[in-house]
Amino acid sequence: MRRGAAAVLVYAMLITSVAHAQNSITSGNLADAAGMALDIRSVYDPLPPTGYAPMRIVATNVGDEDGRWDFSFRSQTQKFRSENTHASRFQINVPARGTASASFLVPLAVSYGNGAGYGTSSHRLFISLAAAGAGHRDFNDYSNRVHDFPAIAISKMLADRNLAGLKNEVGQRMKSAGASAMFGSVYTPVDLPEDWRGMSGFDVCLMTNTEWLSMKPGQRVAVIQWVRLGGQLDVYVNGTITLSSLGITVDSEDRLSLGQVNLLTWDGKDLDSEKTVARHWGQPSREKNLTVDYTNQTGSKPHMKPDWGLLDSLGARSFASWQVIMFLIIFGLLVGPVNLFLLAPQGKRHRLFVTTPLLSIGASLMMVVIILFQDGVGGMGARLVVVNVVPEEAAAYVTQEQASRTGVLLGGGFELKQPALVEPLALPDTPWVKLKNTITSQSVQLSQEGGQRGGNYFRSRAEQGQILRAAVSTRARLELKAGLPVDAAPEIISALGFTLDTLFYVDAKGLVWKAIQALSTGQQVKLVRSDFAALRESWKEVSALSEGHIIRGIYDSPARSTFFATAIQAPDFTLETLTSIRWKQDHVAVFGLLAQP
């Protein structure tokens, strides 16, 4: 790279002002710098409290040789003594005398521990930039997070005239809590990434129908995928607009898989602040799902069993504190009286310089042997995998809850084979749980580089849980056999790639059918009449394993032309994490529309 040219580093991030103002930090000429310029913009202002923050990068190189920018991001939350971090690394190559652009998904730290999910906490995003010949620069953004209101993304068109009033209304409602008021994060729809994870930190997204139509097809697909994985999209319309005219198809219960799309009317200018805030007040949030929902117990005392069915399925585990007490007593006797009067008696006290270290080393080795004997290496776990099959999109949407109990781990890192969102869960306050919603919670320290995940997702001698979400490309489907008489019982052909143990189908008329035998891939089965009570009872057993309410709303009011099934395993749709965990229990729930002949 040609040296001696001037370098200008432009750092422009839309994350410091709720009013959506641009904040730029510009450095002057750097010593021995190459002709490089860089612009970084956050899609959301401010950043969401969970998930990913999409950053749009534009880099210019006026030098005669190819260049490269290295980015290090570190998201950090701080509340009293609880500090959690999530680090990530990215690169962008810039050709000589050229420009390169990219969109990075920066993982954000969640405010775990110390009563997280209530009041406010501080968040800082540290950014380190480095380029060959252009030096190294550090920047950071600071903001407060509010946890008593769902995370809302509001489009610029809606925010320009209404954000101040919406913020004031939230402030009025939060006065008793003493929290800082914030309604949502402002964004421009045409800046959204073509990856659903770029919206994963939000519970609700607000935009107008004209903004929806202004987006690229890939951006609209990403928004739909986010909704299918549990998001809520509110589209504000002015006139006779329908979801079908916007290219959005919902089921017979006005749902879109695990999420929801709503059409709301407005005059094209002003929103009713009171009604809009009331609509979202008290709405469940993803952040509390991670930090609070899984911490419930069936009793008020720490030794009571957890309320999360999946964690409870691992069985009880005694902390065995008496063994530690006995070990300390025996060690105290050896290193004290035995060592002092037998091994190094009076006149031979100099032996203490040898016997005491040897006894300590021996005790340490014995403790390691005891731990390995009791807990072993690796761990065991149980998973609930919810698969929503959408044949018309050639995709399946996976939501996976998992709980595990570990012994001694030789490493906690793992690699994901496909893009997914992986988030730790705060669990009940027991001696084996490290991540809690209390002041005694250990901090979460995570890292990501490409598909590699590191940090303390998994810890030695601990119980932990995670929730994973992914959109998986697949041609898997269940098909309705063609050519059957109108009044004939339905027959279904499987192309799922795994065996279904139970299968229910709600036809277009609302009648419930079921298979009386297991259905394997490539086979077909003729259904017999059943009822909603049998369907709900079958899915209730599976949904009881979820504390995140993933599938409970699905079987409460099943949509028509939809199948509901369970299986023991679904290898192509199970998201694998730490290889040293032995997943002894897999519970699979599958639902979706039947592919029509």
Dihedral over Cα of 197, 198, 202, 204: its sign: negative
Q: DSSP assignment, residue 339?
A: I
Whether the Cβ atoms of residue 535 and residue 564 lie closer than 8 Å to each other: yes
100-103 contacts, C-beta under 8 A, 24 or more apart? 100/58, 100/59, 100/61, 101/56, 101/57, 101/58, 101/59, 102/56, 102/57, 103/54, 103/55, 103/56, 103/57, 103/193, 103/195, 103/198
Task: Check whether 191 has a pLDDT greater than 90.
Answer: yes
Confidence of residue 404 (pLDDT cuts 50, 70, 90): very high
Instruction: Give percent of the chain above pLDDT 90.
Output: 53
Task: Check whether 566 has a pLDDT greater than 70.
Answer: yes
Cα–Cα dist 66/52, whole Å = 30
Confidence of residue 216 (pLDDT cuts 50, 70, 90): very high
Residue 587's closest CA among 535, 536, 562, 551?
A: 551
Cα–Cα dist 200/197, whole Å = 5
Dihedral over Cα of 457, 463, 467, 473: its sign: positive
Per-residue confidence (pLDDT) for residue 299, from 0 to 100? 43
* DSSP labels, 379-445: EEEEEEEEEEEEGGGTEEEEEEEEEEEESB-S---EE-SS--EEEEE-----TTBSS-SSTTPPPPE
Least confident piece of the model among 78-87, 367-376, 515-524: 367-376
CATH 2.60.40.10 residue spans of the chain: 10-143
Instruction: Find residue 124's DSSP bridge partners.
Output: 76, 142
Q: Give 10-143's CATH code, choosing from 3.40.50.2300, 3.90.79.10, 2.40.70.10, 2.60.40.10.
A: 2.60.40.10
Residue 203's closest CA among 232, 176, 175, 180?
A: 232
What average pLDDT does the segment 371-384 reach? 80
Higher model confidence: residue 374 or residue 9?
374
Per-residue confidence (pLDDT) for residue 39, from 0 to 100? 85
Confidence of residue 297 (pLDDT cuts 50, 70, 90): low
Task: Check whether 300 has a pLDDT greater than 70.
Answer: no
Cα–Cα dist 453/450, whole Å = 8
Task: Check whether 23 has a pLDDT greater than 60.
Answer: no
Residue 421's closest CA among 175, 107, 210, 153?
A: 107
Task: Check whether 65 has a pLDDT greater than 50.
Answer: yes
For the segment 555-564, what is each residue's pLDDT rounded down to a tens digit? 677 888 899 9
What average pLDDT does the segment 512-530 reach? 95
Whether the Cβ atoms of residue 329 and residue 321 lie closer than 8 Å to each other: no
Instruction: Find residue 563's DSSP bridge partners.
Output: 505, 592
Whether the Cβ atoms of residue 375 and residue 461 lie closer than 8 Å to each other: yes
DSSP-derived 3-state class of residue 68 = strand
Phi, then psi, of 370 in degrees rounded to 5: -65, -45
Strand order in the sheet with 52-61: 36-42, 52-61, 98-107
Per-residue confidence (pLDDT) for residue 371, from 0 to 100? 66
3-state SS of 220-248?
Answer: HHHHHHHHHCCCEEEEEECCCCCCHHHCC
Mean pLDDT (the chain) is 84
Confidence of residue 301 (pLDDT cuts 50, 70, 90): very low
Task: Check whether 188 has a pLDDT greater than 80.
Answer: yes
CATH 3.40.50 residue spans of the chain: 152-291
Token duo for residue 297: 């117990």
Cα–Cα dist 458/287, whole Å = 20
Q: H helices of 174-313, where?
A: 209-214, 217-228, 273-280, 286-291, 309-312
Whether the Cβ atoms of residue 542 and residue 517 lie closer than 8 Å to each other: no
Cα–Cα dist 440/7, whole Å = 48
Whether the Cβ atoms of residue 123 and residue 77 lie closer than 8 Å to each other: yes
* DSSP labels, 476-518: -EEEEPTT--TTSPPEEEEESSS-BSEEEEE-TTS-EEE-SS-
Cα–Cα dist 543/389, whole Å = 18
b/e map of 268-299 (b: 16 or more CB within 10 Å)? eeebebeebbeebeeeebbbbbbbbbbbebee
Per-residue confidence (pLDDT) for residue 375, from 0 to 100? 66
Task: Check whether 269 has a pLDDT greater than 80.
Answer: yes
For the segment 477-504, what is each residue's pLDDT rounded down to a tens digit? 999 998 888 889 999 999 999 999 999 9
- Dihedral of the CA atoms 570, 426, 432, 77 (nearest 10)? 120
Residue 207's closest CA among 150, 240, 160, 252?
A: 160
Whether the Cβ atoms of residue 120 and residue 144 lie closer than 8 Å to each other: yes
Per-residue confidence (pLDDT) for residue 306, from 0 to 100? 58
Task: Check whether 120 has a pLDDT greater than 70.
Answer: no
Per-residue confidence (pLDDT) for residue 12, from 0 to 100? 35
Per-residue confidence (pLDDT) for residue 377, from 0 to 100? 75
Task: Check whether 180 has a pLDDT greater than 80.
Answer: no
For the segment 304-361, what is each residue's pLDDT rounded down to a tens digit? 455 788 998 888 766 556 666 777 788 777 777 877 778 878 877 777 888 888 888 8
Task: Check whether 20 has a pLDDT greater than 50.
Answer: no
Cα–Cα dist 13/326, whole Å = 58
Cα–Cα dist 522/490, whole Å = 17
Per-residue confidence (pLDDT) for residue 316, from 0 to 100? 74
What average pLDDT does the segment 57-84 reach? 86
Q: Which amino acid is at 243?
A: L
For the segment 405-454, what is each residue's pLDDT rounded down to a tens digit? 998 888 889 999 999 999 999 999 888 899 998 888 899 999 999 999 99
Neighbour count for residue 205 (Cβ, 10 Å):
25
Task: Check whether 116 has a pLDDT greater than 70.
Answer: no
**Residues with Cβ within 8 Å of residue 312, at least 6 apart in sequence:** 305, 306
Higher model confidence: residue 563 or residue 118?
563
What average pLDDT does the segment 283-304 reach? 73
Per-residue confidence (pLDDT) for residue 302, from 0 to 100? 44
Higher model confidence: residue 597 or residue 571?
571
Per-residue confidence (pLDDT) for residue 415, from 0 to 100? 95
DSSP-derived 3-state class of residue 349 = helix
Highest mean pLDDT among 139-143, 194-198, 300-304: 194-198
Confidence of residue 118 (pLDDT cuts 50, 70, 90): low
**Fold topology of 152-291:** Rossmann fold (3.40.50)
